Structure 1
Amino acid sequence: MALRVQIHSASVRTNGSSQTSTVVASGLRIQKQVVDYKDWQIALSRRFRAIKLWLVLRSYGVNNLRNFIRSDVKMVKFFEGLVEMDKRFEVVVPRKFSSVCFRVSPSAISKANYPTANYEKCVNEVNCKLLEAINGLGRVFMTHAMVGGIYVLRCAIGTTLTEEKHVGMAWKVVQEHADAILHPPCIN
């Protein structure tokens, strides 16, 4: 369930150099100008990106970094294969690096349950419910994206300790929640 905050009579100001937006309620008056030092950190500078890359290369080494990336891509291919084997799902966008964009296929959703003129909107709602259920469990976390008006779930693999067994577990969680959403239990 998404947290929604509504502020009446508010203005939103965004500073170009700041990392955050400032919400100021109309009744609030700020007496003093306060410097936010988080916007001054060296990590926000352009040259700092090279230092981050240098530290990664020094920590892992070029060969270990290559192996790490290859391992992630292999696990993403494995996840993509699991998605393609289940006829209820479809890969929406070709896999790139360590991210798979997929969704519940419209053919898996009964039109009898969603008798509206805008069926694609209903398919998007089902996928949104699926993502909320997956993330709500707390064992697997995924994100979403809108691709040409299509709501897709994004599975990104990129942590150092992820193994193929974790990817398989994530897919089982997706399947379990898809079963619950596509075939809700009958209550008499």
Structure 2
Amino acid sequence: MAAHPFSLVCFRLRADDDANAALLAGVNGTGRVHLTHTRVAGRYTLRLAIGSPQSTEAHIDEAWRLLTEKANTLQTP
């Protein structure tokens, strides 16, 4: 959705804002990762920061797994 000059990745599903908000709530509800959101060009956009020196590839893999699992459970138009 936007350039990533630091360790902040902005992305969204190819779905409406409600589906993206549901994805955020579902992932955050696991307590395993914490995403935030913003609006880019008026569209609800998820944000994942991966800048901690303690972050490992395993952390990123887990975040991706959670995002994928939750996205696959959503009903999108």
Unaligned runs of 5+ in 1: 1-91, 107-122, 184-188
- 1:104 aligned counterpart, secondary structure: coil
| 1:97 corresponding residue in structure 2 | 6
- Would you say 1:130 and 2:23 are equivalent positions? yes
Q: Which structure ranks higher in relative contact order (CA pairs < 8 Å, sequence separation ≥ 6)?
A: 2
Taking the aligned partners of 2:34 and 2:73, their CA distance within structure 1 comes to 18
Q: Taking structure 1 as the reference length, what is the TM-score of the superposition?
A: 0.39
Structure 1 position 156, deviation (Å): 0.5
Q: More helix by proportion, 1 or 2?
A: 1
Unaligned runs of 5+ in 2: none
The higher radius of gyration belongs to: 1
User: Where in structure 2 are the equivalents of 1:72-91 lying within 5 Å?
Assistant: none
Equivalent of 1:142, from 2, 20, 35? 35
Structure 1 position 157, deviation (Å): 1.0
| 2:73 corresponding residue in structure 1 | 180
How many residue pairs get aligned? The number is 76
Taking the aligned partners of 1:178 and 1:128, their CA distance within structure 2 comes to 11
Q: CA RMSD in A?
A: 1.3
Structure 1 position 160, deviation (Å): 2.1
- Would you say 1:151 and 2:60 are equivalent positions? no
| 2:58 corresponding residue in structure 1 | 165
- 2:65 aligned counterpart, secondary structure: helix
Taking the aligned partners of 1:158 and 1:133, their CA distance within structure 2 comes to 22
* Deviation per residue, 1:32-80 (Å, 9 max, x gap): xxxxxxxxxxxxxxxxxxxxxxxxxxxxxxxxxxxxxxxxxxxxxxxxx
User: Where in structure 2 are the equivalents of 1:44-83 lying within 5 Å?
Assistant: none
Q: Taking structure 2 as the reference length, what is the TM-score of the superposition?
A: 0.91
